[in-house]
Amino acid sequence: MKIAIGVCEKINGRCSSMGCFKAYNKKDKHFSRYEDIDTELQAFFSCNICSSESKENITTLATRLKDADVKIIHLGACAVKCKADKLLEIKEVFTSMDMEVVEGTH
Ligand code: SF4
């Protein structure tokens, strides 16, 4: 099962992302659903919808993930708690391409 993690670009330079990787590596927290499933973390990307004032970049990115057979997108808490109120837009980009979106990593 190929998965990807998406975070908010506003955390650049402030968050190490170790929490996401620790939970993924231990199949803990929101990754516990994969306890008996082989997974491959295919990508770690950031959203920039609000700073670019466009969904174009994330849509291009989502298309690449879809082409790489990524099935599930985990959004970090920073994206789930999107301060620009774009969570539904972010999710729709991926769900419209038949990828599942899970709200949370750790
Ligand atoms: S739209 Fe939300 S999640 Fe995306 S960069 Fe802006 S604040 Fe972060």
Residue range 7-29, pLDDT digits in tens: 999 999 999 999 999 999 999 99
CA of residue 91 to ligand 1 center, whole Å: 12
What pLDDT score does 6 carry?
98
Q: Catalogue all structural domains in the chain, each as residue range(s) with its CATH number.
A: 2-103 (3.40.50)
| Ligand 1 centre distance from Cα of residue 14 (Å) | 15
The torsion of the CA quartet 34, 58, 63, 40, rounded to 10 degrees, works out to -20
Residue located via tokens 């770690």: 44
The pTM assigned to this predicted structure is: 0.97
Q: Are 100 and 71 in contact (CB under 8 A)?
A: yes
Among protein residues, the one with the nearest Cα to ligand 1's atom 8 is: 8
Over residues 19-41, mean pLDDT: 97
Residue 60: pLDDT band (50, 70, 90) is very high
Cα of 68 vs centre of ligand 1, distance in Å, is 24
Mean pLDDT, rounded, of the chain: 98
pLDDT at residue number 73: 98
Q: Which pLDDT does position 31 carry in this prediction?
A: 98
pLDDT at 97: 98
Residue 48 alpha carbon, nearest atom of ligand 1: 5
DSSP string, the chain: -EEEEEEEGGGTTT---HHHHHHHHHT-GGGGGGTTS--EEEEEEEE-HHHHTSSHHHHHHHHHHHHTTEEEEEEPHHHHT-TTS-HHHHHHHHHTTT-EEEE---
